[in-house]
Chains A and B, each alone.
Chain A
Amino acid sequence: MTTRLFGEPIARREDPRLVAGDGRFLDDLGAGALAAAFVRSPHAHARIVDVDVAGALDVDGLVAVYTYEDLDGRVAEPLPLLIPHPSLHAPRTAHPLANGIVRHVGEPVAMVVAGDRYVAEDACDRVLVSYEPLPPVVGIDEALRAEHAVHDDVPDNVAAHMVQEVGDARAAIAAAPHRLELNLQIERSASMPLEGKGVYARWDAADRSLRVYSSTQTSTSVRMALAAKLGVPVDRVEVVAPDVGGGFGVKIVHPWPEEVLVPWAAIRLGREVKWVEDRREHFVSAAHERGQRHKVRVGFDDDGRLLGLEVEFLHDNGAYTPYGIIVPIITSTQLLGPYKPGAYRVEFRSLYTNTVIVTPYRGAGRPQGVFAMERTMDAIAERLGRDRAEVREVNFIRPDEMPYDHGLIFQDGRPLIYDSGDYPASLAKLKKLVGWEEFAAEREQARAEGRRVGIGLACYVEGTGVGPYEGAHVRVETNGKVVVATGLTTQGQGHETVFAQVAASELGVPVDDVSVVTGDTRRFKYAVGTFASRAAVMSGNAVALAARKVRAKALRIAGEALEVDPADLEVVDGVVRVRGVPDAEIPLATVAVLANPLRYAFDEQAKQATQFAVGGGAEVPPVADDDEPGLEAAGWYSPVRSTFANGVHAAVVETDPDTAEVRILRYCVVHDCGRLINPRIVEGQIHGGVAQGVGGALYERIVYDQHGQLLNASFMDFLMPYASEVPTVETDHLETPSPLNPLGIKGAGEAGVIPGAAVFAAAISDAEGLWIDRMPISPSELWELRRQKTPKGDA
């Protein structure tokens, strides 16, 4: 009988409550709390002349109205710059309520607290704000032209300028037998989880302690930020991430203005306060991502081998930079994919505009980089008349070249060194899965029938499991149940299941005996958060390490109790037993009892651990110097650097010759994220990522007009795909374990979305014989492109 659960596609432990409607999402909590709502700027850029709250005070049920003038202490200061960087020479963050100036539509100007949300919105309508509109800066061109500035003291609108290079790319390109230059663009999109943000705060005046529930991806970091901002000692602040209805990156930013203001109001009012973001608010005051414009210059030889690659890109970071320049740094480094670039130079400018802030959305800059690289590969293949897969293969880093050092610094501040991966094998699998070799014939056949079909493929490498660390605590209770806690959070990744699988596998207990808590600072205080495809790697390993310590201690204690060498013991189904000796065993529950020397027995079981029952040497203390009571341990995993997953996607599309509609005929994924804790959960993550890739390639685009008004701030006009738009995904996988962590796993959370724009641009290009350099693309845009008959190849 085995209890090895690692690698098993077991059903999820969190599902029973979620399918039954017993989930506890933010708005399901705090039934008696007051409701907060915000007056938000209708202008993209304006000076606030006056805020008149008199009208709001008449609204029945109003409790309080606050403006910037009411903020005190550090709450009146700008929100923190989360990730400083030397290249981010002009960082700027917002105030929780606008301090005299608003810089994007949606920026909060006043907070209203009332009996319920309906009344709060009524009161918001009565707050009269007079603005003096200022010229808005919208789009990369305007930001560059710098006729107007988003921040007065950043006249060129450049927040950051960064160059990374290895070798002399310009010289290499100049000397190369062939050269190409490409101009490419990806438009802005957004994470858009089904549940928006939310904050619910309880201040206990007698105890002087604060508990905040937030729909966040990082409860531990929110805790630190709130303690700092509100002047409450850290040990008196607890932050809990409840069930969270999706994050996809947008909920890693913190503290949001509302995350500061709602607890602040709760303390001032001595009442529970809750804010539940509505959909319109989310569009205009959460975060967006993806908007970049690239210029690529590449030099290559007759085989398509890269000799020099120079990338210059512009990144629209919106009105503020709370998350620093992580997204463009990821673009800069992950653009390289599985290839050796020869000499490489990447330069970017991150620009301010009067729009919503730009922070990571699943993929976090990788989709843009992969788009640039993969379009370049396709262009090289086209120029040379070679197969697009062959051109890629020629440039692959080979397995025997691992670990491969690119000579650059990655988003974790550490060297970009690929640890493992077999790119040729991944590609070979993908080609087989999609029928790459046979496709040319299919394309011809379709053409003869008057149909247009095309195939595209795209490769990517994804740095996952970034540090600095995660930790976990594992405890065996005296009833034999195992309790696991880790500090990072969950938004649907099945952590209650996968971490239980890890713990159960390591300890040798049934998975049903293991419970897992995530994202609750009451249960685990040191953590970083869930983002960058890191949770399974980081907390998975931390759980394993903690569980191994617990197992070792259990075997030691059991060995003493059974009077055998711990090396002869095994744990199966929660029972510690001597290998090969059927009756010599002791339940883990009993070991847990014995692990805590007792004076007082609290039940029958506990009697075994009391001082007269246990005995033991009179010269030896009941708890040794280097030991602790209890069958529990904490484990920490801190990686020397990221571990690199990879994948290849292919799409087959058909375009309608008349309407230019795009139909996805097939979508194939080969991915390698090392060893899989739960294959079904990984596959689910890929399906979801692919759907967002489809969305980002064919449907989703955040559109601002020249006044900085968001034109599609609703689900009617920001087009997330329904089931009718998403294909069935065919997957296959490889497992090249990571040598960097004990479990050999790599992250998988973002894999599905990363090559979306690239693969669809390639497939549509192939079907149409047109060069696609800008995504997303709609049928209307494809039709207009047909009319212009842009030739394939260089500009």
Chain B
Amino acid sequence: MNIPSHLKKVKEVDWTIEELEDFELECKKEWETGEVLGPVHLSKGNEKELIEIFQYVHPNDYVYSTWRNHYHALLHGIPKDWLMDEVKRGRSMKIINKEHNFVISAIVGGIIPQALGTAWALKQKGSDRKVWCFIGDMGFETGEFHLCYKYAKNFDLPLQFVVEDNNLSTNTPTNETWGKKQEVPDDVIYYEYERGFPHHGSGTWVLF
């Protein structure tokens, strides 16, 4: 995984791989009770990469994420009890926390233009805060990414993209649908991993 040289570490991450995995296992347990009346998208397999990346994310920075957001939320300082309550309320796909500048969208590529706008506003204010935009490999191939990456780069906006490549969009292989994957720009953080849970749910039949 490449970390662009202009980025500097700003903090130590106080989560371990095991603690992150344990949180998701607790979510899995709650999900399998059949009382969580909303989808969950569990993370597994990218703990090491995210722990490294979040050393560069300042707590005051914005983090934009997707439907699979629990690790991003925890590593950005959102209290785990609050997050678990949200998951239990069926809001796993709606994790938004203004206090921690954490925004998600459940639409592929949906966060990218918003992240661009926030980066524009921060630069306009003379702020030294950044915007981190975590997207999947299919989001990386969208027109939204191309447009926003180009605009952010041309206007030197504080927008850092992170591409998390499990080669699956829901269950559709990205490389197969596009024929191949695009080149990764040097200033984009990119890593590959194998998804440890299904797209949503836990892989266990749940009776609601």
A binds B: no
Interface residues of B (CB under 8 A from A): none
Interface residues of A (CB under 8 A from B): none
